[in-house]
DNA sequence: AATGAATGAGAATTCATTCAT
DNA sequence: TATGAATGAATTCTCATTCAT
């Protein structure tokens, strides 16, 4: 959490710091990101950043949070347009569109999220997950849990697993796109195609057994 | 490629170096891994590691190669047991089982592969891909291409995208497991479930249009 | 170019760093000069020198520039005393005297220039020449070009070659002196003698052919 | 001096070592030259070079000596063709031609000499000069001394200075050429032109005073 | 006599963090 | 509250030389 000092800063200066820190964490994983570069580009004193934030991690969590908030807001707005009690696959499609919209309008915010999903060091993942798990993972798990309850998807689908799969695939598609292998439109359509597949594959089937024959959780 | 010096080393010493380097690259992405730590733990002089390898990347590629070889061998053995001309989804299931088997018997080797999939720096990805692409990506792309030709999956499925999706999902599941959230059996069964879904979702359908050709929504 | 930090340093400290760096580059060619030694002698932390300069080359160019400026100022002052439109050989004699004056009053500054003339690595020569060519080589070439135009020296004398010869000879004489084989006065007189010879030898001659046009022998 | 071991080596192996060491010292000044590279390319064991030579300097002096011998032989052969009691300027021209001939036929040997003339570290210059001074400098000094005695050049010309000037100019021209700014022929002709200038400038003049007006040694 | 593995000092450079002003 | 200089440990890599086999 930033120190009070940070919020006493003139708006413009605070903005500049946020912006340049965002740039840095969008372009590099945590350890490769450099505080020195941030303060240098922001034109502030090296020591000042420690007046505003406890340390590098504190700054990172703050920046990550801003990106997460923005994305969450976009998703919730998209969901609000879906009407009452939308299906989980409609939610997913809406979330995808919202996510890609954000990636188009603000690629750096999106990059911060993508980078985090690549983060490996537990010393980095831990604090961030601790801070944001409820906001991200918990929300999605709820979607799937509901979908199972409403019978929209088969009962053998585990929420955490579905969420992880969706997240992973979405991130992969966005990176594939960010690396220039696809246009944003192609990536979005592709991912909606994946949802189609999931929708088709995950829905309860008429077959006896209530799940895929050879795998899945049958206990 | 290691220098000849390395292969002239007493078996035991060579083993120790491989093991400690494997530990290091299993626990850290490339840049976070430290040659200094490796030599320190191995109890050899700073300069000695450069008697064995050209540089850090040379060592990394060697260690990565050992992991890749082991994994490839396991996969090919599993495929050999499938009988003649197996379907792509049977291959995937076999590969998954083999991969998870390896992760059980040698979690560090598996971790090296998982870490690479998180690698972001092109200066790291590039040389490794150059060295191992034929062995990994090219092989998988071929599976999917064949499956399209044999009509096993729908023609709108792009090999590279399918491969990326599969790889990413498998990696995520393995990491999920490696972090202790699932037992190995659970993870394996889960992933086979995903393949079930894919098999069901990707196969050519009788409906008009034959699939999400543009990836668009059909509702 | 030094970083602003460097110029904010207390005068005394800045002086000490300049002095010790000058010592180091006066005593060693670029690659043999050691930043570690400089910081050690200066009693500052290893990392501090990078607060002041971008890198080793940045420091070297700065130190070289100080030496070059000093020498140039001395030469221009000497030239100013020559009266209007002096002949090229008068200029050379003045430059020699000024250079040797400098070598007497500040042998280390002179040594830096002499060392550069011994430098072989293009990675060292390149950046320095790029920064100082106009100040050094271009200026001298102009002297000789003018001298050809005014008919003071024969038209078959190429500016670049004349400049190179003069520079090399002057450098050799100064080094010879710096090594204690001659007194400064002896060296200066000697070099003026060389200029005499050149003046006599290079001037347009009455003989047919006007000089060694092809550089060939005439006997 | 090489150890006896070296001369017991099979001819071919000895040749290879000499050749590759020559390459290395032709391409780099002493400190930049790497024993490691030499033994690596020669395909001999690192330790072996220490069976043949005391240390790096011992090897360098040996290689330098071979180059010096070759050059000296070429010069003496050229001088032998001059007939009895040749003039000093004819000797110089012959020496120049011989030197450039050698640079054409064996650029590496020539490069070793050129590099030495750029050497700065007294720890390098010292031992080499001690070993070869009589062979090189003493010989040339004798030429000029004789020329003064025979009245061929003016008495105010000091042998050591004339030798240094000649050496320096010749080296500069050869380097200029080696860097591709001149063809070998152009360089040779240019240098003979310089000798012309020297011949013209250094010869005893009719003027009173017996030397150049403003400079020269008048004691 | 030959080998070649081992050594360790030394090189340049980067970094997050501290602290006196 | 802001500054920005100072820190020193850490990084990868190179080198001439030694020494047990």
Q: pLDDT band for position A7 (50/70/90)?
A: very high
For chains C and D, having 3+ Cβ pairs within 8 Å is answered: yes
Q: For the ranges A190-194, B38-42, D7-11, which has the lowest average pLDDT?
A: A190-194
Q: How confident is the model at residue A72 (pLDDT cuts 50, 70, 90)?
A: very high
Max mean pLDDT among A176-190, A192-206, D15-29 falls in D15-29
User: Residue C219's pLDDT is what?
Assistant: 35
State both tokens at D115: 């590099």
Q: Give B104's pLDDT tier (boundaries 50, 70, 90).
A: confident
**Interchain CB distance below 8 Å, D165 and C164:** no
Task: List chains touching A (3+ CB pairs under 8 A).
Answer: B
pLDDT above 50 (res B19): yes
Higher pLDDT, C176 or A43: A43
Residue B219 has pLDDT above 90, yes or no: no
Residue C205's pLDDT is 63
Q: Smallest Cα–Cα separation from C53: which of C92, C9, C97?
A: C9
DSSP D46: G
C32 CA → E11 C1’, Å: 10
Please provide the DSSP assignment of chain A as one string: ---HHHHHS-HHHHHHHHHHHHHHHHHS-TTT--HHHHHHHHT--GGGHHHH-SSHHHHHHHHHHHHHHHHHHHHHHHHHTT-SS--HHHHHHHHHHHHHHHHHH-HHHHHHHHHHHH---HHHHHHHHHHHTIIIIIHHHHHHHHHHHTTSS-TT--HHHHHHHHHHHHHHHHHHHHTTSS-HHHHHHHHHHHHHHHHHHHS--SSTTSS-SSSS---
Q: Which nucleotide is nearest to C32 (CA to C1')?
A: E11
Give per-residue pLDDT as tens, C152-210.
Answer: 888 877 788 788 888 888 888 888 787 777 777 777 777 777 788 778 777 776 554 44
Dist CA D66 CA D75 (whole Å)? 14
Using the beta-carbon criterion (under 8 Å), do D215 and C192 form an inter-chain contact? yes
DSSP line for A85-129: S--HHHHHHHHHHHHHHHHHH-HHHHHHHHHHHH---HHHHHHHH
Residues of chain A above pLDDT 90, percent: 39
Output helix, strand, coil percentages for chain D, rounded to the nearest 5.
70, 0, 30
Longest Cα pair distance anywhere in chain D, in angstroms? 68
Best mutation target among C113, C116, C129, C212 (most D Cβ atoms within 10 Å) is C212
Separation CA A112–CA B69 (nearest Å): 34
CA of B19 and C1' of F16: distance in angstroms?
30
- CA A47 to C1' E17 (Å) is 9
Query: A29–B120: do the CB atoms touch at under 8 Å?
Result: yes
Q: What is the pLDDT of residue B213?
A: 45
The percentage of chain B sitting over the pLDDT mark of 70, rounded to a whole number, equals 93
CA distance B63 to C57: 36
CA-CA distances (angstroms) from residue B114 to A120, A171, B168, B202, C143? Answer: 10, 16, 9, 26, 68
Name the nucleotide nearest B9; use CA and C1'.
Answer: E5
Domains and CATH numbers, chain C: 4-202 (1.10.357.10)
Instruction: Give residue-wise pLDDT tens across range C58-111.
Output: 999 999 999 999 999 999 999 999 988 898 889 998 998 898 888 889 999 999
Contact status of D87 with chain C (Cβ, < 8 Å): no
Strand E atom within 7 Å of C34 CB:
yes
pLDDT score recorded for residue A218: 35
Measured N-to-C along each axis, helices B184-202 and B88-105 cross at an angle, to the nearest 10 degrees, of 170
**CA of C121, closest CA in chain D: separation in Å?**
9
Average pLDDT score over residue span A67-71: 94
Predicted local distance difference test score (pLDDT) of residue A206: 60
Residues of chain D with pLDDT under 50: 208-219
Residue B5's pLDDT band (cuts 50, 70, 90): very high
Q: CA-to-CA distance for B117 and B124, rounded, in angstroms?
A: 11
- pLDDT for residue C10: 93
Interface residues 46-105 of A with strand E (CB < 7 Å): 46-47, 49-50, 55-56
Q: Write down the residue that tokens 């991200």 correspond to.
A: A136
**A15: how many CB neighbours lie within 10 A of its CB?**
11
Q: Is the dihedral of CA A163, A79, B157, B119 positive or negative?
A: negative
**Minimum-distance residue to F19 (CA–C1'):** D47
Least CB-CB distance to B32: which of A31, A115, A186?
A31
Cβ of D212 under 8 Å from any chain C Cβ?
yes
Nearest protein residue to E7's C1' (by CA)? B45
Token pair for D79:
């001088």
**Spatial CB neighbours of B190, under 8 Å, sequence gap ≥ 6:** A158, A161, A215, A216, A217, B173, B182
Q: Supply the DSSP string of D158-208, one letter for each residue.
A: -HHHHHHHHHHHHHHHHHHHHTTSS-HHHHHHHHHHHHHHHHHHHS--SST
Q: What is the pLDDT of residues B158-199, one digit of tens each?
A: 788 788 888 888 888 888 787 777 777 777 777 777 788 778
Question: Which chain D positions have a beta carbon within 8 Å of C32's beta carbon?
Answer: 31, 120-121
Specify whether the CB–CB gap between B61 and B148 falls below 8 A: no
Chain A positions in Cβ-Cβ contact with residue B193 (cut-off 8 Å): 156, 211-212, 215-217
pLDDT above 70 for C216: no
Contacts of residues A160-166 at CB distance under 8 Å and 24 or more positions apart, as own/partner, are A160/B181, A161/B173, A161/B190, A162/A202, A163/A137, A164/B172, A164/B173, A164/B176, A165/A198, A165/B169, A165/B172, A165/B194, A166/A92, A166/A140, A166/A198
Tell me if there are at least 3 CB pairs under 8 Å linking chains C and B: no
Percent residues over pLDDT 90 in chain B: 50
Chain B residues within an 8 Å CB radius of A194: 165
pLDDT value of position B132: 93
């Amino acid at each position: 959490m930033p120190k009070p000092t940070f919020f006493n800063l003139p708006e413009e200066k605070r903005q500049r710091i946020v912006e340049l820190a965002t740039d840095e964490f969008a372009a590099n994983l945590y350890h490769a990101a450099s505080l020195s570069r941030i303060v240098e580009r922001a034109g502030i004193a090296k020591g000042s950043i420690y007046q505003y934030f406890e340390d590098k991690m504190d700054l990172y969590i703050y920046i990550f949070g801003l990106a997460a908030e923005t994305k969450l807001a976009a998703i919730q707005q998209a969901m609000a347009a879906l009407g009452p009690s939308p299906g989980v696959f409609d939610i997913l499609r809406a979330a995808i569109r919202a996510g890609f919209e954000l990636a188009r309008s603000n690629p750096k915010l999106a990059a911060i999220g993508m980078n985090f999903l690549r983060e490996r060091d537990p010393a980095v993942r831990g604090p961030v997950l601790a801070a944001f798990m409820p906001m991200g993972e918990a929300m999605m798990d709820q979607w799937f849990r509901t979908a199972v309850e409403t019978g929209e998807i088969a009962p053998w689908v585990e929420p955490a697993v579905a969420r992880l799969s969706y997240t992973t695939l979405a991130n992969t598609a966005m990176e594939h796109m960010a690396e220039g292998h696809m246009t944003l439109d192609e990536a979005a359509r592709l991912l909606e195609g994946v949802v189609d597949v999931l929708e088709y594959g995950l829905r309860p089937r008429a077959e006896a057994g209530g799940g895929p024959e050879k795998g899945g959780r049958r206990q």
